[in-house]
Structure 1
């Protein structure tokens, strides 16, 4: 009886994630807040800097482009640097970029500052996923990444709506000032709780890292990353004009709808992370199929406030639920180059965001109006099951799964 109680106690302890995972989640909370917050204050920014809403939407696109370039580039540049130092430097650069946006008045300066911020965000996100996977240990990698991602999803519940409210109360610039301050506050927490060591203390080379690019399964994961996020962000990037112009929801209630999307995405990230350690391919195939169906339905009921709100909550739940699973698979299939694998997944997510938000902006100016981005998102989401299914077939033929075991060669 005593031995059985001890075994249960040990199992309970092993199932708990280290506190550092939650500290990293705080960082991703800030990172995703800045990526998504622009969607809720887009009309205010456009009016202030005297550009169209579609032009202001390029602030989302250029951020995504910065993440595409920044995640793998910063992963290579900081390869020999301790991961703790990389995370702190990323937060500092993040804060600087927000100060420039908050104080700037020229639209070109705003675009440049958003690009700078994206470089920092890409570096932080890529390294955070690797650190979380490493400290969680075998069997809990996807769950740890799910918690880190949940910090980002919490941004859509609290950060983005609060940012939109702050924009209405003190102007959109106040939102960026607040993010800069919070990034500075987060630096000591990262310094204290992220363990010393990591990639910077092992012998590494760019050539050995780039060898991971030979993995065909890695490229299938990256294709799924781009499509799954592109489908959601094509619609979400222009959700404010959809809600105010098509649905008829007052602008002061838009943050509440955004919070609903955030609640769905937070739940999806946690649930997806848990499922990813046992049935990863189920998550990566089922989630985008549900997303495409949700977006298609939204095209037909967007004039009704309640169905539209419910569908946006479901879009958050299914649309971003597979992301932690895909990140874990990218880390796994990159083998001995986990940071590169993680950074490439970040780049792929944002390639999908950049392409989809740009196409969505073009569609916004067509006869479809506010429904244009939703139609674009539907088409992109429908493509996601193709690489996800191909990956599942390859794994079945090999007789192995991405399975409950996680990558453990991360230090």
Structure 2
């Protein structure tokens, strides 16, 4: 399979002959980029554990302080593709360094800021930098690992963000209680500066500049129907899982009758499952990307339906939440890899659009799930919404598999036709 910009390696499931074996070890730069996404994931969600302290210090209500999370999500949705286009002609290494520099500076502004407007502006600026870093990091990691291990590399990069939910966010909340809410932001600023040094040292200078590429050629990727199918799957898979996860606390304490003190442990179980899912899903996706995405969507739908039906029983619910983390987000690195591949000559834009799609699905799913809390289903309403959204993921994932099978059959038929003698 080729693009105008050169050879594009097909997914492993498309091969009928020799299969390129993935390397046993990933390049060090992949793990350096995972450190960056760990910081990005931590800053996105650490605010949730600091809202009362921030609200009290700034003199606003907790609900209004929650806009610090909303504005970050909006910044990620807008920032990933926007910053990709604005940095189009910059080398990817320089883009990563600049993004981390802005990330660190944004946290310094939050740590020093006193007005709520300043905090909102700084969070939005940080989100723009986060979107740019994440989009470029995906492409650099996939390029460094090679086509035979691209999904595994993206799984490791994404696992950095999942590890943030298990380690970074709880540590940030704990540090905020000991040092005040500004302490975690100072720490993230320092870590961001340190990560900048690592990126400058370990990301090669020749990971690909953009000087010869125009905005028009980048936007030509938007004509790819398979790219839009991959983006739809990104939005629905994350929307289904995180619409349920956002309101898991009232489900656990209200329906399952768990103590509020046990809720963080259940959330750690979800985070650990998601971390394992990213790593395992990335490995499986290098060999059978379409099977992996379809299976993940089907199992996720069944798990969410089971949560709806069994949420009155604490032990099954705890187990189901951990499994939801494992299967619900396990296909994400595969979907990112497909988005990058189907974008053709615009891999960074394809990566950026997957970041936007994930965040758009999260925002829309969480909003609908919040409305469902007031329906007769009560605390199980968000899980019901999540089940319906997750089931929709089967439409684009199955469509992608069907399209790929047809393209493979057509390619095989063309080869056979050319090889046959002219006369029977």
What residue in structure 2 maps to residue 189 of structure 1?
198
From 278, 284, 289, the counterpart of 1:269: 278
- Output aligned runs, 1:102-141, within 5 Å: 102-104=111-113, 106-141=115-150
Shift of 1:340: 0.8
Q: What is the RMSD of the two structures over their aligned residues, measured on CA atoms?
A: 2.6
What residue in structure 2 maps to residue 6 of structure 1?
none
SS of 1:228's equivalent in the other structure is helix
Give the distance between the partners of 2:49 and 2:320, measured in 1 at CA.
18
- Residues 68 and 123 in structure 2, CA contact (< 8 A), matched pair in contact too: yes
How far does the alpha carbon of each residue in 1:90-121 deviate from its partner, in whole angstroms, 9 at most, with x for none?
A: 11222233333344455544433322221111
From 377, 380, 383, the counterpart of 2:389: 380
Shift of 1:379: 2.0
Specify every segment of 5 or more residues in structure 1 that has no aligned partner in the other structure, as ranges. Answer: 1-10, 402-411
Shift of 1:341: 0.7
User: What is the TM-score normalised by the length of structure 2?
Assistant: 0.84
What residue in structure 2 maps to residue 307 of structure 1?
316
Give the distance between the partners of 2:260 and 2:107, measured in 1 at CA.
25
Greater shift, 241-250 or 112-121, is seen at 241-250
- Residues 94 and 117 in structure 1, CA contact (< 8 A), matched pair in contact too: yes
What residue in structure 2 maps to residue 327 of structure 1?
336
From 94, 100, 105, the counterpart of 2:103: 94
What residue in structure 1 maps to residue 346 of structure 2?
337
Tell me, yes or no, if structure 1 residue 348 matches structure 2 residue 357: yes
Number of residue pairs the alignment of both structures matches: 390
CA 1:235–1:336: 2 relative to 1, 3 Å: same
- Residues 88 and 190 in structure 1, CA contact (< 8 A), matched pair in contact too: yes
User: What is the TM-score normalised by the length of structure 1?
Assistant: 0.86
SS of 1:399's equivalent in the other structure is helix
- Output aligned runs, 1:155-304, within 5 Å: 155-200=164-209, 202-304=211-313
SS of 1:139's equivalent in the other structure is helix
Greater shift, 305-314 or 210-219, is seen at 305-314
- Residues 234 and 360 in structure 1, CA contact (< 8 A), matched pair in contact too: yes
CA 1:245–1:312: 2 relative to 1, 3 Å: same
From 26, 30, 45, the counterpart of 1:17: 26
- Residues 159 and 278 in structure 2, CA contact (< 8 A), matched pair in contact too: yes
Greater shift, 314-323 or 234-243, is seen at 234-243
> Highest CA radius of gyration, 1 or 2?
2
CA 1:164–1:80: 2 relative to 1, 3 Å: same
What residue in structure 2 maps to residue 3 of structure 1?
none
Give the distance between the partners of 1:107 and 1:373, measured in 2 at CA.
30
Give the distance between the partners of 2:62 and 2:307, measured in 1 at CA.
25
Shift of 1:43: 6.0
How far does the alpha carbon of each residue in 1:308-355 deviate from its partner, in whole angstroms, 9 at most, with x for none?
A: 322221111011100000000011111111111111111111111121
How far does the alpha carbon of each residue in 1:251-296 deviate from its partner, in whole angstroms, 9 at most, with x for none?
A: 4443322221111011100111111111111111111222222222
What residue in structure 1 maps to residue 16 of structure 2?
none
SS of 1:200's equivalent in the other structure is coil
SS of 1:140's equivalent in the other structure is helix
Give the distance between the partners of 1:78 and 1:226, measured in 2 at CA.
25
How far does the alpha carbon of each residue in 1:117-141 deviate from its partner, in whole angstroms, 9 at most, with x for none?
A: 2111110110001001111113111
Give the distance between the partners of 1:171 and 1:301, measured in 2 at CA.
39
Shift of 1:164: 3.2
- Residues 61 and 355 in structure 1, CA contact (< 8 A), matched pair in contact too: no
Shift of 1:42: 5.2
